Structure 1
Amino acid sequence: MKKIGSSFVIALFAGAITLGAYKLFFERTNYAVVTDDNSSSIINSSYSPTSAKGAGINEVDFTSAAETTVNAVVHVKNVTISRGPSSLMEFFYGYEGNQKAQIGTGSGVIISPDGHIVTNNHVIKGASQLQVTLNNNKTYDAELVGTDPNSDIALLKIDAKRPLPYLAFGDSDHVKVGEWVLAVGNPFNLTSTVTAGIVSAKARALMNNNQSFIQTDAAVNPGNSGGALVNTNGDLIGINTAISSQTGSYVGYSFAVPSNIAKKVIDDIMEFGSVQKGVLGIKTVSINTPYAIEKGINEIDGVYIEDIEEESGADEADLKAGDIIKAIDEIEVHKFADLTGYLSTKRPGDELNVTIDREGEQLTLPVTIKERQTLFVPVMGLEVKNLTEKDQKAFKTKKGVKIVGVPETYRGYGLDGKVLLSVDNEEINDIQEAKTLFGRISRYGKTSITMINKKGEKERLIFQ
């Protein structure tokens, strides 16, 4: 017994010595000295309370926004009629006008209690018949009110006997990167599917397109197009449009038309029947080009003005080549998509406050945006502009449009800088008429155009 007791005491002392040695030689105690010295510290600390919204996914309540949204998001069915041979045998031996119905599907968002629905243009493109199914499984025939292919927005209308649930437009200009969002739609023909994510980026341009998109990592798949992107309040901040994927299904990011752009397009369609587009009247330089890199423009934070269009809002406001646009109506501008995204929400005649950097000095100038004065005509791809008073005096004509850009195919015909008077003997008064007339040109027939130069000499060219 005594032997056991002695062994226990020895083991106890050995353990105490070992623990003491570890504490003394190996474990280091960190001490912090707290003083009232206000001098700057190497390490900055923040003692602000954590926001409940940012505390984590478990602290964010999506249920209210989801319940509000699912009843206002609809399933859109697009029925198109395919005419033509359906097999190789029919192709060689003829066919008797076989017509086959092809069905495409997408989503839409009810934006008014009387049944106006916004969706994507590519969802309803070429439709012979449109049907809309609500979340309560009721189906209605839909009428196409109007569409804008440039923004990929379309407006539908259904006639329901009672007021419908709808979503209110939010302000997409004040959406923040990192903000929680929900994507609601009908992927793979599944109804009322809700996914969550965050805003990954704003003013994102795709495939050299200057249009501005909201980028999110909320899962969006085929069938979600035209559906709603909402914040945690249930406000509509975007119309889901595209995905970035190598498989055709969601594996990365999705993109939505900002609500401010969609709302402006819808308002224009309802009020004017078409979209009213305004421009500042500036020419910029594409980034990541040898010229931009050589001039140092590639590294500029903002939009560099390369040139000013005559008689434009920018010209009248005394903007100059070399100015750098830093903000517009207090919305920061870091790249071209920031600028075009905001301009897409405005109409000709709207006045904007443009903040520029001019040789190191910041100035804010009021600029009135005007209707676009140039466009590219179909088929031939010429860039034409409306005549200014200066042009009318120089060419001694009040009719026609000036050719200011010629594609490589027609460079050798001496078209640049001349005034285009008519196409196939039909007179041209402005760029919209030019667009219409060139749109009627057959790629397989002959086309004649009449021009005039500054000497007053008329020229007629025939293309085939």
Structure 2
Amino acid sequence: MKPRSMAMAKSIQTQHQLFAMRMLWLGLLTTVFVIAQTLIAQARPESLAPLAEAISPSVVNITTSTVVEGRTGPQGIVPDGSPFEDFFREFQDRNGGNGENRPRRSSALGSGFVISEDGYVVTNNHVIEGADQILIEFFNGDELEAEVVGTDPNTDIALLKVSADGPLPFVPFGDSDTARVGDWVIAMGNPLGQGFSVSAGIVSARNRALSGSYDDYIQTDAAINRGNSGGPLFNMDGEVIGVNTAILSPNGGSIGIGFSMASNVVTRVVDQLREFGETRRGWLGVRIQDVTPDVAEAMGLESASGALVTDVPDGPAKDAGLEAGDVILTFDGVDVEDTRGLVRQVGNTDVGKTVRVLVHRGEGTQTFRITLGRREDAERAVPVVMDNPEESEEPIQQEVLGLTISVITDELRSELVLPEATEGLVVVDVDETSEAFEKGLRAGDVITEAGQQKVMSLSELDDRIAEAKEAGRKSLLLLVRRGGDPRFVALGLE
């Protein structure tokens, strides 16, 4: 064979070998891709049904009822002088209305979950608040009456107890600090009284603060509606990482912005309620505000962090020597980033513990040893004077946050047919150009809490607004009741 022919043959052979190698690599890549897809499919279940079936028996529906005083006559149904007034009065007479107040039973719905086989149940405080009967319905249809072990309005958590003939299915708490934005979650409960229901979504945000001192909410787009309150938020391991508490909505329905109190907050509260029947939080005894960049510069601080003491009433801090103008830099060995972090850390510290507090004062720093008191004792020590609105110098009405708000007078109670036990402030008018109107507040709504604390007077509402602003909050969380149904609404403070 000629040299030229031999070279051509070798070239063709080399090309065939290269082609064969390429085909081999392509086959290997295809095989790897198919295996990877198979593994991914196996790792990600096609359905959430197995998880839902496993955890459903531990989720309960809660029905509460309260006896309220009835009212005779057509007040609140038709206006005085209406042509229908005589018709309603005649209808009442035919049905036993004889001029006496007739008690009636008012019901409300919520959700909860069992956390131990011996029958402890967690729910929201606002679900069972004021109830004289609490009925627990289990997934299998069984019903049991529950007793209240303890409540914590600050985190809106309540612990109940039922007595069953045998061990109950329950779910464990998970570590909410490990939940990441984007993780899948499942919400379960009794939305709008429709019975057991499952919704799925993701963690939309972490560490949300609405307006409470101990807030640590997980935001989720899993559908949460009225009746879901108190229900669990599960991770994909079937662990409870949150208690569904509130939604932001212009119409009262889910728009994908729901909030669940983080389980790491809930477990601490539940443990104390279980042991003591009440919470026992540490108390430092200072009023504080965040350190802004301007304040930091004026005080010679290296960074805008810490908590600036604005007042030191009688209490542990005053006894130890803290003064207004001090900036708390560390508490019990932990750096203080802002007021929210300090409040939570103090509250989570054992009552009676002596801690070291490093403060900036003048041109330097000082360390104080402070023995913490108990916050609940301090709050109860504050004298509360309940004045008759008509005898008090405080105005009966005022305009705030786009609302015209009034204390509950006998006239309003009669006009709105409010139960005698109703406490709070009544919305008598809403500015239609305001955020409050956009978020669904209307005349006749009753505001029972602001900043997760009860409000009985206009001055108390002013105090809650001032506290929220002082703490650097951009909004104030209101608990609004309409026809007995509660709803949280956050209104901007700016």
TM-score with structure 1 setting the length: 0.58
Q: Indicate how the Cα distance of structure 1 residues 113 and 334 shifts in structure 2: closer, same or farther if over 3 A, else same.
A: same
CA distance 1:364–1:74, shift in 2 (3 Å): farther
Aligned pair in 2 of structure 1 residues 233, 334: CA closer, same or farther (>3 Å)?
farther
Spell out, residue by residue over 1:321-361, the C-alpha distance to the aligned partner (whole angstroms, 9 max, x if none): 4435478776x764433333444444313466778788999
Query: Which residue number in structure 2 is paired with residue 337 of structure 1?
Result: 340
- Counterpart secondary structure, 1:200: strand
| Partner SS for 1:88 | coil
TM-score (norm 2): 0.55
Alignment of 1:53-452 (within 5 A): 65-85=51-71, 87-88=73-74, 95-206=99-210, 208-217=211-220, 218-285=222-289, 300-308=304-312, 312=316, 316=320, 321-325=325-329, 334-350=337-353, 368-372=371-375, 374-375=378-379, 376-379=382-385
- Counterparts in 2 of 1:104 and 1:270: CA distance versus 1, 3 Å: same
Residue-by-residue CA offset, 1:23-45 (whole Å, 9 max, x unaligned): xxxxxxxxxxxxxxxxxxxxxxx
CA 363–90 in structure 1, closer or farther in 2 if over 3 Å, else same: closer
Return closer, same or farther for 1:90/1:107 CA change in 2, 3 Å cut-off. closer
Change beyond 3 A, Cα 1:333–1:72: farther
Using the aligned pairs only, state the percent identity.
Answer: 35
Matched with 1:436 is none
CA contact (8 A) 1:314 1:367 kept: no
- In 2, Cα distance between equivalents of 1:78 and 1:156: 12
- Give the number of the structure with larger relative contact order, counting CA–CA contacts within 8 Å between residues 6 or more apart: 2
Alignment map for 1:4-83 (pairs within 5 Å)? 65-83=51-69
Higher radius of gyration, 1 or 2: 1
Q: 1:87 to 1:328 in 2, by over 3 A?
A: farther
Is the 1:146–1:269 contact (alpha carbons within 8 Å) kept by the matching residues of 2? yes
**Number of paired residues?**
330
Gaps of 5+ in 2: 1-39, 81-88, 90-97, 396-455, 458-494
- Whole-angstrom distance in 1 between the partners of 2:205 and 2:361: 28
- In structure 2, relative to structure 1, the CA distance for the partners of 1:127 and 1:303 (3 Å cut) is same
Structure 2 CA distance for partners of 1:341 and 1:174, relative to 1, 3 Å: farther
Please report how far the alpha carbon of residue 86 of structure 1 lies from its aligned counterpart in structure 2 after TM superposition. 5.7
In 2, Cα distance between equivalents of 1:296 and 1:123: 48
Q: Which secondary structure does the structure 2 equivalent of 1:71 belong to?
A: helix
Q: Distance in 2 between matches of 1:357 and 1:141?
A: 54
Contiguous gaps of at least 5 residues in structure 1: 1-53, 382-406, 411-441, 444-464
Q: CA RMSD in A?
A: 4.5
Report the CA distance between 1:144 and its aligned residue: 2.0
Contact 1:354 1:364 in 2 (8 A): yes
Q: Is the 1:121–1:148 Cα contact (8 Å) retained in structure 2?
A: yes
Q: 1:200 to 1:95 in 2, by over 3 A?
A: farther
**Contact 1:301–1:326, Cα closer than 8 Å, also in 2:** no
